[in-house]
Chains A and B, each alone.
Chain A
């Protein structure tokens, strides 16, 4: 069974979680170029490696960030959004 450590609820089976997509920083639409904005809207980086992703613990309604190596399927760490430094 694959396990994920929810920062609020602890270690749970992956069946309790929903993938929410890669954490991507949005450029300022008023300041960035059209090319940068188009890249943000349309392009995704599919190369395997260590990524920051949104995950959702469905039973408790907790959104959090997981740093996951998409090559090895290893979750390095998890934390609540904005609390990266505390972990």
Chain B
């Protein structure tokens, strides 16, 4: 059982090149809410902003009956494999391959904890432990960054609106999607948490060369400011 009095570090914690100016605890995880002062951060973000959102709750489930189990819990599901949908509360539901799902909440939704509180007991449904590093990237030069680290074309023309891509980013297996968040096009990226430091370091270094860099979680989710 999770002990809520313990604040876990984010998988990115030891990868910060610059110290965050504000750290907060979200869902029991210490994450960077802000880097530098607001003006510097918004300037960076216009070119390329990368934020660590690993603190958002997530839940994984797979198996031949996973669809049936999720439907019984009234979760909106993508019909196609390798696609995603957003729920009305802002959570994202990713269909990874045919029969595996990743659900990640927004800061205000609580779909993942509610599913985790009633874990699957039926045959053919298995919980997948998720310990991802989760990032969000955006900005006018983000395509240049992605082109440097990924062999696939992730531009708006090539990557479908609701497509989920499992590929390698900076040599690491990662899951990527494109989303409109508060009217802005952003990329969401998940990789194994143990690679979080490496991934963060690699992306932030390239972003800094392009004029961008690390930004805090509150820059994408104002409710956490």
Contacts and interface: CB of A to CB of B under 8 A. Distances in A.
Interface in A9-23: 9, 12-13, 15-16
Contacts of B97: 8-9, 60-62
A74 B168 CA distance: 23
A29 interface: no
B174 interface: yes
Contacts, number: 33
Interface residues of B, number: 14
A63 to B, nearest CB: 11
A8 B82 contact: yes
Interface residues of A, number: 13
B168 A8 contact: no
A17 to B, nearest CB: 10
B79 to A, nearest CB: 15
A58 interface: yes
Contacts of B151: 1, 12-13, 15
B167 A16 contact: yes
A81 to B, nearest CB: 13
A15 B149 CA distance: 13
Contacts of A12: 151-152, 167
Contacts of A15: 151, 168
Interface of A: 1, 8-9, 12-13, 15-16, 57-62
10 contacts: A8-B81, A9-B167, A15-B168, A57-B166, A58-B168, A58-B173, A59-B166, A59-B168, A59-B174, A60-B173
